[in-house]
Structure 1
Amino acid sequence: MERGYVQVYTGNGKGKTTAAFGLAIRAVGDGMKVYIVQFLKTSPTGEVEAIKKLADNIKVFRFEKKRGFFWTLNDEEKTELKKEVQKAYEFVQQVIENEKCDILILDEIMGAITNKLLTETQVLELIEKKPLTMELVLTGRNVPEAIAKKADLITEMKDIKHYMNEGVTARKGVEY
Structure 2
Amino acid sequence: MEGRVEVYCGQGKGKTSCAIGHCIKAAGQAKQVIIVQFLKGKDTEEIDFIRRLEPEVQLFRFEKYEKQYKDLSEEEKKEQDHYIFNGLKYAKKVIDTRQCDVLILDEVLGLLDLKIIEPSNLIDLLKERSEELDVIMTGRSLPEELMDYVDAVYCIETMKES
Length-normalised TM-score, structure 2:
0.95
The DSSP-based 3-state class of the residue aligned with 1:113 is: helix
Structure 2 match to 1:103: 102
The one-character-per-residue Cα deviations of 1:127-170 (angstroms, maximum 9, x if unpaired) are 1111100000000011111112311000000121123xxxxxxx
Structure 2 match to 1:86: 85
Distance in 1 (CA, whole Å) between partners of 2:8 and 2:81 is: 23
Higher mean C-alpha displacement, 51-60 vs 2-11: 51-60
Distance in 2 (CA, whole Å) between partners of 1:61 and 1:42 is: 13
Question: Unaligned regions of 5+ residues in structure 1, if any?
Answer: 164-176
Question: Unaligned regions of 5+ residues in structure 2, if any?
Answer: none
Structure 2 match to 1:40: 39
Distance in 2 (CA, whole Å) between partners of 1:46 and 1:67 is: 13
**How far has the Cα of 1:14 moved from its partner?**
1.1
The DSSP-based 3-state class of the residue aligned with 1:54 is: coil
Structure number with greater Rg is: 1
The DSSP-based 3-state class of the residue aligned with 1:122 is: helix
User: How do residues 1-176 of structure 1 correspond to structure 2 at under 5 angstroms?
Assistant: 2-163=1-162
- Counterpart amino acid of residue 152 in structure 2: L
Higher mean C-alpha displacement, 32-41 vs 69-78: 69-78
C-alpha RMSD of matched pairs (Å): 1.2
Length-normalised TM-score, structure 1:
0.88
Aligned residues: 162
The DSSP-based 3-state class of the residue aligned with 1:24 is: helix
Query: Identity across aligned pairs (percent)?
Result: 34
**How far has the Cα of 1:75 moved from its partner?**
1.4
